[in-house]
């Protein structure tokens, strides 16, 4: 993946998504995860950011159900990943009203027309993780 070294942070993120991997950056100076991908650490101002791949396990931190004028309702969820970052997504495979705070989830990827890469979504995690 040497070509990734010269790509933009968004390009690198999308390249990982194309491989069905949820990538994030890590700031050694801050000692914490950085997400959404960027050029500069928001905690220290450092440009030294490492790319890592998430195990994809998380927990619903917040959720709401959107009722569009046309089409079925769907949820929008803030997912806290085990690596210490949060991202907006949705939980699929269950009734949107049943998604709840604290629910264990794992990443899945969906192809949507017009999107440059697969989108990370989440599905309920059946077994417990630590």
- At 48-74, the pLDDT tens digits run 999 999 999 999 999 999 999 999 999
Mean pLDDT calculated for residue range 100-115: 95
> What span, in angstroms and rounded, lies between the C-alpha atoms of 56 and 58?
6
- What's the whole-model pTM score? 0.86
Q: Is the pLDDT of residue 4 over 50?
A: no
> What span, in angstroms and rounded, lies between the C-alpha atoms of 87 and 74?
17
**Residue ranges per structural domain of the chain:** 2-53, 57-123
Is the CATH number of domain 57-123 2.40.50?
A: yes
- At 13-35, the pLDDT tens digits run 999 999 999 999 999 999 999 99
pLDDT at 126: 77
Beta strands in 3-130 (DSSP E): 23-27, 32-34, 50-53, 57-66, 74-81, 86-89, 104-110, 119-124
Give percent of the chain above pLDDT 70.
Answer: 92
Which comes out higher in pLDDT, residue 13 or 7? 13
- Taken in order 103, 127, 33, 3, the sign of the CA dihedral is negative
């Amino acid at each position: 993946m040497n070509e990734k070294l010269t790509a933009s942070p968004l390009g690198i993120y999308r390249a990982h998504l194309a491989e069905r991997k949820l990538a994030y950056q890590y700031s050694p100076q801050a000692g914490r995860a950085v997400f959404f991908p960027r050029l500069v650490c928001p905690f220290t101002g450092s440009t030294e950011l490492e790319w890592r791949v998430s195990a994809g396990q998380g927990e619903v931190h917040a959720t709401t159900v959107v009722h569009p004028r046309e089409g079925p309702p769907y949820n929008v969820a803030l997912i806290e990943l085990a690596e210490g970052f949060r991202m907006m997504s949705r939980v699929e495979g269950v009734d949107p009203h049943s998604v709840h705070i604290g629910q264990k989830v794992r990443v899945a990827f969906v192809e949507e027309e017009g999107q440059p890469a697969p989108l990370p979504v989440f599905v309920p995690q059946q077994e417990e993780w630590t």
